[in-house]
Structure 1
Amino acid sequence: MAVTTVAEGVHRITGAFVNFYLVEDEDGLTIVDSGLPAMWNVLQDALKGLGYSLEDVRALVLTHAHFDHLGLAHRLHSEHRVPVWVHPEDAFLARHPYRYSHEKSRLLFSLTHPAGVPVLARMAGAGALKVHGLEEFAYLPGTGTLDVPGTPEIVFSPGHTNGHCGLFLRDRNVLFSGDALVTLDPYTRRAGPRIVAGAATANSAQNLETLTALAATGAGLVLPGHGEPWTEGVEEAVAIARRNGAA
């Protein structure tokens, strides 16, 4: 597991093929997504290294509520009273992170795409099968900005899940694309801009269409839920993802 600074005041925490992010400003910190349970100590070490503690975290904002983005949410909220934000369309998923819609059988897909099995095994080893759902959270607006550190703009981008949202830091030209646009598909282990396979995506056609909303931000840096940061602009990433199509 590792922590890297990827933009001014933006830090990436990565492990078991999963990313989440810290955003700092003068009002404190926002966490974007929350990885897997085994990443708790890495989060604490990252905060300490930046001169912060958990008491400086003002919000956890979820791009969506799949288990690999919800991993630390219950602990952050229950032990440290960090407010958790999620889109209303992902509220059920936030309560029940393993009961999500997907187009294809996960088991059959893994059998026909064995390259992804070690990735999923690493995620399981980091606690992917032990994520607790939430009972208390706040709802993201469908549009506009959120009054938390970093002041992210909400980019409603359903398809991967019904309530998926990108988060755009306009003043830093940074887009958190969640799993609507990734640079590594955990289910195939294919790299480069793409959407996640149907084994974990509710509606691939909608996901490909909703990339238009992400491209409209014009962001120079794209920070996905899986894979390396993309530095060549969101429009190029979207064009490549559409050429790659659904899996």
Structure 2
Amino acid sequence: MTTSTRKKSGGRATRKSGSGATLTRDVAPGIHRLEHAYTNCYLVEHEGAVTLVDAAFPSTWPHLLSALSEIGRSPSDVSALVLTHAHFDHVGFAARAVRELQVPVWVHAADRELAAHPYRYQRERTPFLYPLKYPRSTRVLAAMTAAGALTVKGVSDVRMLPSSGVIDVPGHPTVVFTPGHTRGHCALHLPDRDALLTGDALVTLDPYKGARGAQIIAGAATANSEQAMESLVPLAETGAMIVLPGHGEPWLAGIRAAVQSAKATGAT
């Protein structure tokens, strides 16, 4: 993120690099969004330490280091990396984080094997026909490929996320178990910040359709769409107002409205 422009987005400082990464500070109090190749990572600050949520792509790494500098933190301030799930576009730099930052990586036990082998995921439909049916997805998928989507190394040295309860990492998020997109998908609720990090349980951009708005991701990358729709219920029960998805812009009208929209859109 060396060549950059600044702007204000909804009162939040946004920095966009010449290489396609965007840092938006304080999308919720002390939570910063790093977007690269249509995929989001989050930096959660708490008492001088940082929890990373999701790891995008291998080439996201230098953007992460720049983002840490931008918020006044250093790599040594990173205490944990939490994966909402273990698809390749969320595992991206996890192995490097273990090697260079020596931080623990947290993932739900049901996604442990997937974290080690991030291309061995269940899906309902083949993804290869989606660009033909949804041409808007071509630009998104091309950007993800250019960012290293096909070269992600798995991570096997992990800690197990519980299916519920608060985890002992900076920010102390509460785990909301939301299987469907993957078997072990989890969202993270930070009630003191009125924020919910939904991962891919609910997104505002579906990479496989290029469609925007609150929705679940298409069957091209979802293990069980029926279960994914059922997992919208515990998301809604958090009542959070700030919804921070794995793909797409933050949704600031509340999780209940986002879930209503996702249910209306349905599964594809």
Same fold by TM-score greater than 0.5: yes
- The residue type paired with residue 165 of structure 1 is C
What corresponds to 1:71 in structure 2? 92
- The residue type paired with residue 85 of structure 2 is H
What corresponds to 1:192 in structure 2? 213
Query: Hey, what's the Cα distance between the residues in 2 that align with 1:103 and 1:147?
Result: 34
**Percent of aligned pairs sharing the same letter:** 54
Matches within 5 A, 1:93-104: 93-104=114-125
What corresponds to 1:233 in structure 2? 254
Superposed CA offset, 1:190-211 (max 9, x none): 1000000000000001101110
Aligned counterpart in structure 2 of residue 212 of structure 1, from 233, 236, 257 = 233
Superposed CA offset, 1:46-85 (max 9, x none): 1111121111100000000001111110000012211000
Aligned counterpart in structure 2 of residue 3 of structure 1, from 23, 28, 43 = 23
What corresponds to 2:8 in structure 1? none
- The residue type paired with residue 211 of structure 1 is L
What corresponds to 2:191 in structure 1? 170
What corresponds to 1:90 in structure 2? 111
| Secondary structure class of the residue paired with 1:114 | coil
| Secondary structure class of the residue paired with 2:231 | helix
Matched, 1:29 2:50: yes
Q: How many residues align?
A: 247
Matched, 1:155 2:195: no
Following TM superposition, by how much is the alpha carbon of 1:148 offset from its aligned partner in structure 2, in angstroms?
0.5
Query: Hey, what's the Cα distance between the residues in 2 that align with 1:151 and 1:46?
Result: 21
Matches within 5 A, 1:32-43: 32-43=53-64
Query: Hey, what's the Cα distance between the residues in 1 that align with 2:23 and 2:228?
Result: 29
| Secondary structure class of the residue paired with 1:130 | coil
Query: Hey, what's the Cα distance between the residues in 1 that align with 2:127 and 2:56?
Result: 20
Query: Hey, what's the Cα distance between the residues in 1 that align with 2:109 and 2:222?
Result: 18
Superposed CA offset, 1:126-156 (max 9, x none): 0111110012000001110001100000000
Superposed CA offset, 1:146-189 (max 9, x none): 01100000000000000000000010010000000000000001
Query: Hey, what's the Cα distance between the residues in 2 that align with 1:88 and 1:118?
Result: 33
Query: Hey, what's the Cα distance between the residues in 2 that align with 1:98 and 1:117?
Result: 20
The structure with more strand, counted as a fraction of residues: 2
CA root-mean-square deviation: 0.8
**Structure 2 unaligned spans of 5+:** 1-20
* Larger RCO, structures 1/2 (Cα 8 Å, 6+ apart): 1
- Is the 8 Å Cα contact of residues 112 and 156 (structure 2) preserved in structure 1? no
**Structure 1 unaligned spans of 5+:** none
Following TM superposition, by how much is the alpha carbon of 1:108 offset from its aligned partner in structure 2, in angstroms?
2.3
Query: If the length of structure 1 is used for normalisation, what is the TM-score?
Result: 0.98
